[in-house]
Amino acid sequence: EVQLVESGGGLVQPGGSLRLSCAASGFTFSNYWMHWVRQAPGKGLVWVSRINSDVSNTSYADSVKGRFTISRDNAKNTLYLQMNSLRAEDTAVYYCVFDYDPKGAAFDIWGQGTMVTVSS
Amino acid sequence: DIVVTQSPDSLAVSLGERATINCKSSQSVLYNSNNKNYLAWYQQKPGQPPKVLIYWASTRKSGVPDRFSGSGSGTDFTLTISSLQAEDVAVYYCQQFYSTPYTFGQGTQLEIK
């Protein structure tokens, strides 16, 4: 079964740091580009970042550029999101997602998400 | 960045009736090289991650009931639920996959009238 399991969320003070992890299983992780999407409480979905399969290319939303870093360890089948200089507006559920179906273009595999709360 | 705007923000439809949600992108999401629209539709129920319904603007994901259909091209798209069922109560999002950032619409809350 194709599965993504996020971890690492929690409560952090403004200005603090947090590292999210996403453990992948059931597919050849190293073949796929991976993404993070977030959702603030009661709000809509926001694409955060993307990394290609061989780690040679990354992309970020303007709202997190310079503060967040996406990375991956293909040997460990794990995706990461290092979040620095956190702000209250970064409070959200963070989902690890990717496009698994080779016939389509959409995020068809989602983790259950990990909650990040930035508050003093 | 491509801005994606949905309408309406909320919608109440009677059981068995048709529901229509619109999605407009600020620039075309049609790739001329393969003639595909890089537009997807998702359904999200409370406490769950989103689930993809439609990709390429009009291709139904395997396992999705055929009452769900997508249409449109270029900048204007529509998600139609032909006969609303109780289990269709959810928030629906469109998303463009044409270029990063892969922007989502703001969402449409669908309820039973």
- Find residue A37's DSSP bridge partners: A47, A95
A95 vs A113: CA distance, rounded Å: 4
- Percent of residues, chain A, with pLDDT higher than 70: 100
Distance (Å) from the C-alpha of residue B57 to the closest C-alpha of chain A? 10
Chain B contacts to A (CB-CB under 8 A): 1, 36, 38, 40, 42, 44, 49-52, 54-56, 59, 61, 93, 95, 97, 100-107
Q: What is the mean pLDDT of residues A18-42?
A: 97
Give A48-71 pLDDT, tens digit per residue: 999 999 888 999 999 999 999 999
CB contact burial B61-82 (16+ within 10 A = b; e otherwise): beebeeebbbebeebebbbebe
Nearest alpha-carbon partner for B10 in B91, B104, B102: B91
B1 vs B48: CA distance, rounded Å: 28
Asked if A45 lies within 8 A of B36 by C-beta distance, the reply is no
**Residues in chain B closer than 8 A to A36 (CB atoms):** none
Asked if B49 lies within 8 A of A110 by C-beta distance, the reply is yes
Give B48-91 pLDDT, tens digit per residue: 999 999 999 999 999 999 999 999 999 999 999 999 999 999 99
Residue A103 pLDDT grade (very low, low, confident, very high; cuts 50, 70, 90) = confident
User: Phi first, then psi: what are they for B86, rounded to 5°?
Assistant: -60, -35
